[in-house]
Amino acid sequence: MDQDIINQGDPKQCWVISDGRAGTENQALGLAEAVGLPITLKRVNPRTPWRWLPAALCPALTQRGRALPRLSRPEDEVSPPWPELLIGAGRLAIPYSLAIKALSQGKTFTVQTQDPRIHCSHFDMVVPPAHDLLAGPNVVPILGSPNRTTVVKLKVESQRVAPLLAHLPRPLVTVLIGGRSKHYRLPVERMEEIIEDLNSLARTTGVGLAVTTSRRTGERNLKALTSGLKKASAFVWDGQGHNPYYGMLGLADHIMVTADSTNMVTEAAGTGKPVHIINLPGGSSKFRRFHKDMEEYGAARPFCGVLENWAYKPLDETARVARLVRKRLRL
C-alpha cells in the first residue's frame, strides 16, 4: 500500500483509504481537504482473495477487525494510532474502513464516498451522488461528486497555467474529453465528429481551444484529436509536465465536457462557467438523472453546436458535506 503524508503537525488525523483510481481518489481527497484535518493518503492493494470479494461479504469477514492482518501484504502499514476521521473511496477500501472502525472501538469516524453496495449503517456517513437514489439516516446525497475544485485552487492554478495558454484567442473554451466507461463509448468516428465541431467553433467564432483528455480517451482518439486540431487555435495537453487541468478550468470562458464523467462535469460546475455537455454513445438512467439535475441546477446544458452564455452560483457540495463532518467531529 502506497502511503503519502499530505500534511502533518496536528494530533488529529484524517486517513484517505483509496484503491488508487484517480477519479475515485480525488473525490475522497477533495472532501478530506475541505474538512481541514492533516491528511494521510493510503492506497490499498489487498492480496487475494480480498480484492476479488464482493462488498456484501466484507462486514462478516472484518468482524471485530480480525481480518486486518490478513488483508494487506506484509509491507503495508495499517496500524494504530487510528485516525479520528477515515474517508474511504472505492470498493477495495471498504474492508479497511470496517476493520479500522472495529479496532478503534468506534472512535474512528468513517465516511464512504459513492454507494458502498452494503448497508449504509456500517459507516458513520455515506456520501453518494443524488442520482444513485440512496437514502438513510446517515446518508448525505450530493449533486455530482466530492471534488478538489475550490476558488483558491482555481486562482492559483490559473496564474500558473496562464503563460501556457497566452497565445490562444479569447473567449477561451476548455474542452474535457473522457472516454470509454461502463456506460459510454467513444469510438473514433464520434471523436472525429467532436473534432469537426471544435474546428467549426474555432472558424466561426474565433475562440481559442484548451483541450485535455483522460486515461480512458485512448491512444487512437488522442492522436486523432491532436492531428485534427492542428490548424485551429488550440492547445492539446500531451500529458507531460504539470497537469494544467485546474488552470484550464479557471481560465475558461466556456467549458465543454463529454457526458461520461460525473467528476469532470461536477468539477466544471464548480467554476460558475457555462458547462456544455457533449453527448456520447451509450448512457444509463443514472446518468440521465445526473445530467437533468445539473441542468435544473443551472450549471449545464447539452452542446448543440453553438456556445451559449448563462450564469449560476458555482457548485460546492464538497464544502457543505465537510461542514457536516466537522460538526459531527466537534471541530
Q: Is the pLDDT of residue 104 over 80?
A: yes
**Strand 2-5 vs strand 14-18: parallel, antiparallel, or unpaired?**
unpaired
The answer as to whether 264 is a domain residue is: yes
The answer as to whether 288 is a domain residue is: yes
Span 266-311, pLDDT tens digits: 999 999 999 999 999 999 999 999 999 999 999 999 999 999 999 9
Residue 158 CA to residue 176 CA, distance in Å, equals 16
- The pLDDT of 212-238, averaged and rounded, is 96
Q: Which pLDDT value is given to residue 5?
A: 40
Task: Name which residue leads in pLDDT, 73 or 261.
Answer: 261
What CATH number corresponds to the domain at position 95? 3.40.50
Q: Which pLDDT value is given to residue 116?
A: 93
Is 71 in contact with 99 (CB distance < 8 Å)? yes
Provide the residue count of the chain: 331
Burial degree of 74 (CB within 10 A; 0-12, 13-18, 19+):
exposed
What residues pair up with 7 in beta bridges, in sequence order?
none
Q: Which domain holds residue 126?
A: 2-147+319-329
pTM equals 0.91
| Of 72-86, 89-103, 298-312, 313-327, the least confident | 72-86
Residue 277 CA to residue 259 CA, distance in Å, equals 6
Q: Which pLDDT value is given to residue 68?
A: 66
What CATH number corresponds to the domain at position 212? 3.40.50.2000
Task: Name which residue leads in pLDDT, 81 or 159.
Answer: 159
Q: Is the pLDDT of residue 112 over 80?
A: yes
Task: Name which residue leads in pLDDT, 1 or 318.
Answer: 318
The answer as to whether 90 is a domain residue is: yes
